[in-house]
Chain A
């Protein structure tokens, strides 16, 4: 029997991500330095396993490893892991790893539950054979990852801010970073996400559509939802500098933004018809 390396690495990565998430939670609860360091090691191994999965997938399929839902979800997990590791290295805040890795694991879980036909390697249809398509997806998914992390930070912010307001104390909540740091991290992730999303989902998507179909914008549901998502994050960026909107309300906008991102990514492909229907082939 021929072993498909990419599927093997995917399965390995799945268990590693589960372990990583559990270790980060254990570290949050116990605050044991050993567990914290083990979490980071596990996160690096998981990221490497996913990298190997993507590498083999590229070799097996002969195209960039993000041309269907199964591949692009895996790619999303990889980007969010790398972004998190950079963040951890820069800010030395290991506790938030529990939340980011929870998002990564949920994504892995959702990917593993996709119908089996998605795991099959499909040759690319004519429209997808374009460098613009590859750049479009590549950049858009970095954007999604930024929004994903920001979502995690915004949720933690909302919890933490609530406790800070009431001056309530709880050993788990006290171990979370201060709310102003969480707000800053959420903003930073959205800033990165917004640039890559604007570039990838909107600009490069438009360039690709123009090359393939001769229209850079046609209001198909996927395009429209990416614009909706863009409006929400544009609103977030304005909310942060508006008196009465900064803080909690802005955090809610960040949460809504990611829900919109999820719908843009999954909902549109499965629920609404349009040009991007190829994603559900």
Chain B
């Protein structure tokens, strides 16, 4: 390859590695490797817990899986390596092939002789009675009508024409290759500067939206070798989001039709978007941030109201009727001189003895527990027990009375789960994707058709040599050339 010999990299390190990276066989090797490796990632569940892998594959296999990085293989170094190979392959191939192709396409030989045409796979010889000049003009017109771009050259033998069309089809594959690089750039931009978060939002509540804060630093965790690293921290932004309303639409059959949230956005204390409804597939955009309707659920740390009743501590019989208590609102229990207030709730009770804190083990309502403060009506505190929905016998006696307080029900608060996302890379990814489709269309359906014609004066007639070349789709081109030849002959009549 003459083009690569001039290449400075080849001059320095020799052509072997360059040749390998520029070969189509290497392309096939990478494409098949990527395909095979990706299959593994779909068979072995990704990003599961350590327990999952041990339960599924045993500890021996698990340590192997973790060692190779199979549990998160699309981010493993060797997977990235394959992508780097793919990118190098594309770049080397483009450097090798594009300039000569560009040159050959733009600077095609116009001044050819009859011998050149006779060497083409598709060639025809036609004898015409017209004068050479008239014959040339007629052929010119025929080719022009078929939308060929024509150049001509005079030589001692006669006149030669070079007609071509569909030149851009040649560069379709290059467009696809560049588009692939562009998509990867978009992915990288997104992974560095993008930001994703999600959270539970309650009706009426205002939440300050965090954004990512970037810091570039040095990472030495990889065998002590300093590598550039982007550190990201969440930082409060000036943007605040308020959930005005959340509701679910149902079909007549009872299946869920749609989740809807109405959002109000303020920026720097000023309302910028008021009461905008979002649903799945219809997110809200503001200043590069996008808010998605992603889930919903019952709050794990609060309730709308709780229901209690009193019972006699000896007879275990209910005293009076059950009563509802609003969240965080003091409530006088009728017929007694006690007042209670619901202050805390966990959906799945758990206790951490080291920090002595109570926390919800999960967002599921497996073991709902409620924390009430009990006062005398004069305001003197009596106690603040936790009551368990599933275990009404526990901790229920009101100190210094014959009453037991029983937690008998609650109305949860539905929250809407929103994802918040900023990805400046998507624009690049979409441009790449569009370019890729255009490139494919160019490569598959625009054919570079080239026709050379040589017209010279024979002994007693005008001799026309016509031949052509196409980069693919040979069958239809043969047909087209025959049509051209027919119409040239037809001109004679």
Query: What residues of chain A have their CB less than 8 Å away from a CB belonging to chain B?
Result: 122-123, 125-127, 129-130, 132-133, 181, 184, 191-192, 194-195, 198-199, 202-203, 206-208, 210-217, 219, 221, 224-225, 227-228, 231-232, 234-235, 238-239, 241-242, 244-245, 260, 268, 272-273
22 A-B contacts (beta carbon < 8 Å): A123-B251, A125-B255, A126-B257, A126-B259, A127-B281, A184-B473, A184-B475, A191-B440, A192-B444, A195-B441, A206-B433, A212-B281, A214-B196, A214-B283, A214-B292, A214-B419, A219-B46, A231-B32, A231-B34, A231-B38, A235-B28, A235-B32
Report B-chain residues with C-beta under 8 Å of the C-beta of A192. 444
Please name all residues of chain A whose beta carbon is closer than 8 Å to the beta carbon of B293 when the two chains form the complex: 126
- Say whether, besides A123-B253, A214-B196, A216-B426, A238 and B31 are in contact (CB < 8 Å): yes
Residue of A nearest to B43 (CB): A272
* Cβ–Cβ contact B281 & A198, under 8 A: no
Question: B42 contacts A224, CB within 8 Å?
Answer: yes
Given contacts A192-B444, A202-B433, A224-B41, 17 further A-B contacts (CB under 8 A): A126-B258, A129-B258, A195-B444, A212-B280, A213-B294, A214-B196, A214-B290, A215-B421, A219-B41, A224-B42, A228-B42, A235-B28, A238-B27, A242-B27, A245-B25, A272-B42, A273-B45
Contact A228/B39 with A129-B280, A213-B294, A214-B292 known, Cβ cut-off 8 Å: yes
The answer to whether B437 touches A132 (Cβ under 8 A) is no
A229: nearest residue on chain B (CB-CB)? B35
Q: A214-B292, A214-B294, A219-B46 are contacts. A228–B32 as well, Cβ < 8 Å?
A: no
Report the minimum CB–CB distance from A88 to chain B (whole Å): 16
Q: Report whether A238 and B74 are in contact in the complex, using a CB–CB cutoff of 8 Å.
A: no
Q: Is B104 positioned at the interface, with any CB of A under 8 Å from its CB?
A: no
Interface of A is mostly: helix
**B445 cross-chain contacts in A, Cβ below 8 A:** 191
Top 4 closest A-B pairs, CB basis? A126-B280, A191-B444, A130-B281, A235-B31
For the complex, what is the distance from the CA of A272 to the CA of B34, rounded to whole Å?
A: 19
Asked if B46 and A211 sit within 8 Å, CB to CB, the answer is no
Most buried by B among A126, A194, A238: A126
B255 near A123: Cβ-Cβ < 8 Å: yes
B256 on the A face (CB < 8 A) = yes
B251–chain A nearest beta-carbon distance, Å: 5
Best-buried of A125, A133, A181 by chain B (most CB within 10 Å): A125
* Assembly CA distance A225 to B282 (angstroms): 27
Query: Could you tell me the distance between the alpha carbons of A62 and B333 in the complex, rounded to whole angstroms?
Result: 54
In Å, the complex CA distance between A232 and B293 comes to 35
Q: How large is the interface on B (under 10, 10 to 19, 20 to 34, 35 or more residues)?
A: 35 or more
> CB of B303 within 8 A of chain A?
no
| Chain A hits for B28, CB < 8 A | 235, 238-239, 242, 245
- Residues in B neighbouring A198, C-beta threshold 8 A: 436-437, 440
Measured CB to CB, the closest approach of chain A to B410, in angstroms, equals: 27
Instruction: State whether A123 touches B257 (Cβ < 8 A).
Output: yes
Decide: A216 and B256 in contact? CB cutoff 8 A: no
B440 touches A194 (CB 8 A): yes
List residues of chain A with CB within 8 A of the CB of B429: 206, 216
* A contact residues around B419 at 8 Å (CB): 213-214
Specify which chain B residues have a CB less than 8 angstroms from the CB of A244 in the assembled complex. 25
Contact B281 A211 (CB under 8 A): yes
Q: Is B279 an interface residue (CB 8 A)?
A: yes
Q: How far is the CA of A241 from the CA of B282 in the complex (A)?
A: 44
Bound Cα distance A191, B441 (Å)? 9
Distance A203 CA – B437 CA, assembled complex (angstroms): 9
What is the chain A residue whose CB lies nearest that of B187?
A: A217
Pairwise interchain contact B440-A195, C-beta atoms closer than 8 A: yes
The CA-CA distance from A225 to B40 in the complex, in Å, is: 11
Q: How far is the CB of A173 from chain B (nearest CB, A)?
A: 21
User: Which A residues lie within 8 Å of B32 (CB)?
Assistant: 231-232, 235
The verdict on A232 contacting B436 (CB below 8 Å), with A191-B444, A212-B281 known, is no
A126 and B279 alpha carbons, distance in the complex (Å): 8
Q: Is B319 interfacial (CB-CB < 8 Å)?
A: no
A111 smallest CB distance to B (angstroms): 24
Chain A residues, Cβ within 8 Å of B187: 217
| Chain B residue at smallest Cβ distance from A267 | B42
For the complex, give the distance between the alpha carbons of A241 and B45 in Å.
Answer: 37
Q: Which residue of B lies closest to A181 (CB)?
A: B475
- Does B358 interact with chain A (Cβ within 8 Å)? no
Kindly identify which residue among A133, A191, A224, A231 contacts B31, using a CB–CB cutoff of 8 Å.
A231
Closest A residue, CB atoms, query B248: A126
Report how far A206 CA is from B190 CA in the complex, Å. Answer: 14
List residues of B (293-331) whose CB comes within 8 Å of A's CBs.
Answer: 293-294
**A273 closest partner in B (C-beta):** B45
B292-A224 in contact (CB<8A): no
Nearest Cβ in chain B — how far from A28, in angstroms? 22
Of residues 166 to 206 in B, which have CB atoms within 8 Å of A's CB atoms? 187, 196
Question: Which residues from chain B contact A216 at a C-beta distance below 8 Å?
Answer: 426, 429
Contact between B437 and A211 (Cβ–Cβ < 8 Å)? no
**Closest-CB distance, B186 to chain A (whole angstroms):** 9
Separation of A202 and B433 alpha carbons in the complex (Å): 9
Q: Are A232 and B283 in contact (CB under 8 A)?
A: no
By a CB distance below 8 angstroms, the chain B residues around A268 are 42
- How many angstroms between the C-alpha atoms of A245 and B29 in the bound complex? 12
> Do residues A232 and B42 form an inter-chain contact, with CB atoms below 8 A?
no
Provide the bound-state CA to CA distance between A239 and B30, in Å. 12
Most buried by A among B35, B42, B426: B42
Chain B residues lying within 8 Å of A207, measured Cβ to Cβ, are 430
Docked-complex contact B281 and A238, CB < 8 angstroms: no
> Residue of A at shortest CB range from B72?
A219
Q: Is B10 an interface residue (CB 8 A)?
A: no
Contacts of A242 in B (CB 8 A): 24-25, 27-28
Q: Which residues of A contact B256 (CB under 8 A)?
A: 125-126
Q: Which residue of A lies closest to B421 (CB)?
A: A214
Q: Which residues of B contact A191 (CB under 8 A)?
A: 440, 444-445
Interface pair A199/B437, CB less than 8 Å apart: yes
Docked pose: A67 CA to B279 CA in angstroms: 20
In the bound complex, how far is the Cα of B294 from the Cα of A210, in angstroms? Answer: 12
Which of A126, A217, A225, A239 touches B281 (beta carbons < 8 Å)? A126
